Structure 1
Amino acid sequence: MEQQQINLTKLLANWCADYTLRFPASAIRSAELAIADTVGCILAGVEDPASVKAGNTIPDEKSGPSRKSNSVRHAFPVSARDAAAVNGCAAHARELDDNVMPAVIHSSAVLTPALFALGEEIGATGADVVRAFIVGMEVNAQIGKLVNPKHYESGWHTISTIGVIGTAAACASLMKLDSEKIIHAMSLAFSMAAGSKLQFGAEAKPMHSGFSAQGGIWAAQLAQHGFEGNKDVLQGKWSFQELYAGGESDGVFQPSLFPDALLAIDEFSPVAKLYPCCGSAHLGIDAIRALQARQAFDLDDIIRIDVHMSKIMTDNVRYKIPANEKEARFSMPYCAAVTLVHGMPRLSHFTADAISQPDPAVARLMPLVQTHVRNPSPEVIARKLIFQGDCLVGVHLKNGEVLKQIAEHPKGCRENPLTAEERHTKFIDCVTPCLGDARTNEIYSILLEFSGLSAIDEVTRTFARNQGHS
């Protein structure tokens, strides 16, 4: 007799609705660090053109009873869904937000704006938001196991496919909905799942995060009011797995959830990004930085730079000579040239002026960078390195010498983490232009103890445009 397939949607919803679960301190700390990092990303993205345009679609007017959530583009509160859309766009706009395997998703850039906006509306505590954040991370990871790598390799942008479903589950959990309603929230979010990597290098990409944050809240609210969907949407005929991954997954999915297995946030720690560009460029940047630290060489002597990495990464950083700052974030030649000249890419290197009037040394080096597909070894695949590969950089000099460097673990991952000082410095760089030195350090200290807040507006009110940024 054929064994009946487990209803994964129901399994996850039952787990999400178990409000007696007590998560380990390690998971809570990881969530607090990820949330703090994302607040920095949101405030760094306040003036990005995508954030400005998203904000312009929502009137900035004195609040009514249904407008309780703060948006970085508005002086007065807006609805939770509107705040989530704008802040979600801002979180992803500068490409500084973290990435998480196995969903290969910027989970925090969707979960944080959604849970903050909804949390303000319903009066959630910091502990409530942290718990829901961990739940969303778990659902994203379990769905990622179900459909990747096929899903991501096919061109789907996971932040707006997997992300909207995980965010719906997180929002429903924050609202303390029962398992039946969480099933429907996930089902309704499944009907919103969309978004292609074709938008990499366009303003639409950060809006994918905004769409998912907004959609996750809406799906949970619909479910709260009795709106229903199909109860088994993740596996089977016409399901998420079949439609979005051809029924394929990265091995056999094992429906083993905490406490029987590690929580995803502990097993797959969020990779906090140090550089404001596509994560697929980070190993190349790391290799160049390591090479420069190891051996001195004159930039004028460089005749070619080869960057060998996985096909996923070469596809993502595909712009050879970027036409604008958005494309520059997805250009390995630009990121490599900036690293060679300036030591590492910073926010100031991804502005309209920096691209239209490039540094002469950067302009000379860019055309010398060539990307090549490097098939990962079985050992690399077995170790599940992020993006399923490592990166080899070769710098060719006039004298015939070729300087080589391999990078395996991107800066910010568990094996190569940001130090506490690097995290703090990143936050200062992102937030100080908005809030000033004193307020920035005050907010960072509060965020590091976020789960102890009795009301999250101690943080979220800093998003309002009358709180220090214009």
Structure 2
Amino acid sequence: MATEKLAAWVVNLSYSSLPPEVVQAAVSSFYNWVGCAIGGALHPTTTTACEALTPFFGKATSSLLGQKGARTDASHAALLNGIASHVHDYDDTHLQTIIHPTGPVASALFAQAEALGGVKGQDFILALVAGIEAECKLGMGVWPKHYDIGWHITSTVGSIGAAVAVGKLMQLERTPMQHAISIAATQVTGLRDMFGTDTKSFHVGRAAQNGLLAAVLAARGYTGSLQALEAPRGWARVVSVSNNVDEQFAGLGREWEIARNAFKPFPCGIVVHPVIDGCIQLHREMAAAGGGTAADIDRVHVRVHPLVLELTGKKTPQDGLQAKFSVYHGGAIGLVLGKAGPAQYEDNVVLSPDIVSVRDKISATADESLGADETEITVHLNNGTTFTKHVQHAIGSVEVPMTTAQLEEKFIDQVSLVLGAEGAQSTSKACWALESSGSVAELAKEI
């Protein structure tokens, strides 16, 4: 039975059984999550949630990353750090399912690790791996029908991943772990219709909070169905018209999903990345040829996988959150500015005349013969010159992963805006030292 199988695997998982590449993937995932959480800490979506919920804060046990030493109870820390980590859409991605796995799991886990005290870095890594494996295998078991129906898969599986991780940290035995999974499973969070609004990142925070709640309740004897995932009216059959969860769980501990985790080079929907990658390359080529300003461009055409237009077909975004789901905005900033970081998704850039003019010149065609991370771009200039670019695999994909240096550059760029250059460097160093840390609570003081 799926729920029992998952619980038994998690309980029996040991640090010594983790391959070195899995440990490294976990450290990199944590590193990227911290950078994204600090980078999103001062975003209006995060600060609005924090201000609204402050009256409900409890005992200050856990850090609000990037907020000048602010602390709150573990539940609200999980929620708010989860929101911050996802608000720029800059987090990691399990490309097979487009789950963003670390946000829900690490947000819950870090908050509880601080609250418990005495948690070693290796214990944290073990729990993080358990949670990410659980959510990704579960997501693979219902992909793509679950997503096609309209569920935001990151949060619907994220709460279960978070419960598994926190439960592992709290050393739950098999039956309480089943209950934790069950309590998390019944808290299904996230509709795709929320994409482009504040609530998309709320999904990640709420999944973290729900998972933390589930594990804490189960640790005190709170019960749920012991077959919550596979029962006729359980999670898998309710949220998807088909599933092969049992088959996916058979691969637990043999095929590590965290090792397939990819990191985003651009803060937007990942399906836009091939277009941005190609347009940045074209920006450089056009500049080298002495042209390529917004005024030089006559028209642009891109061919993309159908999912790109389904998810990111917003032609006229009105703010940064909407622009994250606009392939047209991604193409425009790539062509005109030659970069696509958080600054290029600020509202003033989205509405700038040069960007709007080029965005309006871009047309897009869905082509089922293309891969999900593939595109072909053609730019026609007013002087009759034509530039083309074919991107087989975008940077940040499994085939063209970000290097450690690029991951660090991304981290420093985000964190410097919040903590300053010196603070970003020291935080980066502390995060890379997770595995050797004797106390996550002490590590948190350095972040």
One-letter amino acid of the counterpart of residue 273, structure 2: H
The answer on 1:285 being equivalent to 2:285 is no
Which deviates further from its counterpart, 443-452 or 86-95? Answer: 443-452
Consecutive unaligned residues of structure 1, counting only runs of 5 or more, are 1-6, 381-387, 464-470
Rate the CA distance shift 1:420–1:312 in 2: closer, same or farther, 3 A. Answer: same
Per the normalisation by structure 2, the TM-score is 0.92
Change (3 A) 1:95 1:254: closer
Instruction: Indicate which of 208, 217, 223 corresponds to 1:213.
Output: 208
Is 1:365 matched up with 2:358?
yes
SS at 1:59 equivalent: helix
Question: Aligned-pair distance for 1:394?
Answer: 2.4
Match status 1:8 vs 2:7: no
Partner of 1:104: 98
Question: Letter of the aligned partner of 1:278 in structure 2?
Answer: G
Q: State the 4+ residue runs in structure 1 displaced beyond 6 angstroms.
A: none
Deviation at 1:411, TM superposition (A): 1.4
> What corresponds to 1:449 in structure 2?
433
Q: Distance between the aligned counterparts of 1:139 and 1:32, measured in 2? A: 18
Q: How does 1:396-407 map to 2 (within 5 A)?
A: 396-398=380-382, 403-407=387-391
Identify the structure with the greater helix proportion.
Answer: 2
Whole-angstrom distance in 2 between the partners of 1:462 and 1:89: 21
Please give the alpha-carbon distance, in whole angstroms, between the structure 2 residues aligned to 1:103 and 1:15.
22
Letter of the structure 1 residue corresponding to residue 187 of structure 2: M
Q: Distance in 2 between matches of 1:74 and 1:445?
A: 18
Distance 2:191 2:434 in 1: 34
Which deviates the most, 105-114 or 291-300?
291-300
Establish whether residue 51 from structure 1 lines up as the match of residue 46 from structure 2.
yes
Q: Distance in 2 between matches of 1:20 and 1:85?
A: 28
**Number of residue pairs matched by the alignment:** 440
* Alpha-carbon distance between aligned partners in 2 of 1:233 and 1:419, rounded to the nearest angstrom: 40
Q: Mapping of 1:351-390 within 5 angstroms?
A: 351-356=346-351, 358=352, 360-376=353-369, 380=371, 388=372, 390=374
1:272 counterpart = 2:281:
no
Aligned pairs for 1:42-441 within 5 A: 42-59=37-54, 66-72=59-65, 73=67, 75-123=69-117, 124-248=119-243, 253-259=247-253, 261-266=254-259, 268=260, 270-293=261-284, 296=289, 298-299=292-293, 300-356=295-351, 358=352, 360-376=353-369, 380=371, 388=372, 390-398=374-382, 403-441=387-425
Cα distance in structure 1, aligned partners of 2:140 and 2:54: 40
Deviation at 1:341, TM superposition (A): 0.7
Deviates more, 1:198-207 or 1:71-80: 71-80
- Give the 3-state SS of the residue equivalent to 1:17 in structure 2: helix
TM-score of the superposition, structure 1-length normalised? 0.88
Question: How far, CA to CA, are the matches of 1:355 and 1:399 in structure 2?
Answer: 27
Kept in 2, the 8 Å contact 1:103–1:140? The answer is: no
CA contact (8 A) 1:150 1:249 kept: no
- SS of 2:395's partner is coil
* Native 8 Å contact 1:283 1:410 kept in 2: yes
Contact preservation (8 Å) 1:96, 1:277: yes
Provide the C-alpha distance between the structure 1 equivalents of 2:4 and 2:68, rounded to a whole number of angstroms.
39
The Cα shift of 1:254 comes to 4.1
Secondary structure of the corresponding residue to residue 227 of structure 1 = coil
Structure-1 separation of matches of 2:114 and 2:90: 24
Once the two structures are aligned, what percentage of the paired residues are identical?
27
Residue in 2 that maps onto 1:468: none
In 2, Cα distance between the equivalents of 1:315 and 1:167?
29
Worse-superposed segment, 311-320 or 205-214: 311-320
TM superposition shift of 1:21: 5.2
Secondary structure of residue in 2 paired with 1:105: coil
